[in-house]
Amino acid sequence: MKSFDPYALVVAVNHLTDVVNAASETNFFKDYFMPIFVVMLSAITAYFIAIRGYQFQEAAKNERMKADTLNSIILKMQSMQASLIATKQNYFESLGAHPVQRALNVPIMPTQFEYVSFAANELAQLLYTKIHDIEKHPWMNIASYVATFGNFNMFIDILKVRNEIDNEVKDLLAPLLAGSGVRGEVSLRAVAEFLDESLMMRYIDITEKFITLVDDLLESLNDFMVNFPLETKDILKKKYIKNYVFLTGYENKSEWFLKLLKRCPSVDLAQLGHFMKFNEEETKRMYVENSTVITTPKI
């Protein structure tokens, strides 16, 4: 039997102590810093990913809103143009130069048109994304829309008033028109016998303003359809609205449509001035120079 060796026991205990101490020794970088660093790095990465994702969502939302505004404004302009075309086709082939003949040949027409408006704040986001020279690009100026929409609403009001006056006049002229054989072709002397001067002045005045306003609006709207899509093609950021439908304009090349876009024959200013008690300068100022057309300058 081997004798007990106290020294060997001491050595074994010391070795065991060294192993335990080595096992329990703390690595601050590995055990403390690295876990904290990893957590912070993950949090920072997640933060920036969230920020970029939020920014992308906001940018996409903004671009979709701009695309919706673009679609809305083009569709409204098309609807206004269609209403004006439907109105003008009732009289544009019947107009001569004499103010009374013109007034008689513009018939009573339906007035079931809706007043128009637009969201100015949304349109501003579309128009002012980039800086444009509004002298060269009038449709990038919100004032052009205020004027055009306001004139269209005034067209509705004028049509309603003119229908009332026309109905009054036609009732008075019914016996005369019934015997004329041809619509509106009656002598001025005969008309004068049926209409007092005040009514005739109101009749001629509102008719000429109506004819001019319709022509002005059609010219402005056609300019919008031709030029606005070209001016806005680079405004939308396509990467944010992939597969999102937006309009790029409208074109109608039918002969009938193009014929209606042409202005009506001019009124005889001398005769118009005679009936309205205006001199030549006043007549031009009231019925020619007062025209409001928005067009893009040709470069």
| CA–CA gap between residue 203 and residue 245 (Å, rounded) | 47
Task: Read off the tokens for 188.
Answer: 């001025």
In this prediction, residue 231 carries a pLDDT of 81
In this prediction, residue 191 carries a pLDDT of 77
CB atoms under 10 Å from CB of 137, counted, come to: 18
- In a 13 Å sphere around the CA of 208, the CA atoms on its Cβ side amount to 29
Residue 3, Cβ density class (10 Å: 0-12 exposed, 13-18 middle, ≥19 buried): exposed
Nearest by Cα to 219 from 120, 126, 142, 151:
151
In this prediction, residue 221 carries a pLDDT of 95
Angle of the 269-276 helix axis to the 280-287 helix axis, nearest 10: 100
CB atoms under 10 Å from CB of 123, counted, come to: 17
Collapse the DSSP code of 88 into the 3-class scheme (helix H, G, I; strand E, B; otherwise coil) and give the result: helix
Q: Residue 215 pLDDT more than 70? A: yes
In this prediction, residue 15 carries a pLDDT of 55
Q: Residue 2 pLDDT more than 80? A: no
| CA–CA gap between residue 100 and residue 80 (Å, rounded) | 28
Q: Residue 89 pLDDT more than 90? A: yes
Nearest by Cα to 108 from 163, 68, 63:
163
Q: Residue 104 pLDDT more than 60? A: yes
Phi, psi of 128 (to 5 degrees): -105, 20
Q: Residue 287 pLDDT more than 50? A: yes
Q: Residue 150 pLDDT more than 80? A: yes
Nearest by Cα to 223 from 154, 148, 169:
148
Identify the residue with better confidence: 175 or 14: 175
Terminal CA-CA length for the chain = 119
Q: Residue 298 pLDDT more than 90? A: no
Task: Read off the tokens for 44.
Answer: 């920072």
| CA–CA gap between residue 99 and residue 203 (Å, rounded) | 9
Q: Residue 13 pLDDT more than 50? A: no
CB 269 within 8 A of CB 283: yes
- In a 13 Å sphere around the CA of 4, the CA atoms on its Cβ side amount to 3
Q: What percent of the chain has pLDDT over 90?
A: 36
In this prediction, residue 182 carries a pLDDT of 46
CB 162 within 8 A of CB 140: no
pLDDT band at 70 (very low <50, low <70, confident <90, very high): confident
Identify the residue with better confidence: 239 or 282: 282
| CA–CA gap between residue 242 and residue 131 (Å, rounded) | 25
Look-up of token digits 């893009």: 296
User: How many angstroms separate the most distant Cα atoms in the chain?
Assistant: 158
The domain segmentation of the chain, as residue ranges, is 63-287
CB atoms under 10 Å from CB of 26, counted, come to: 7
CB 184 within 8 A of CB 207: no
Q: What is the mean pLDDT of the chain?
A: 80
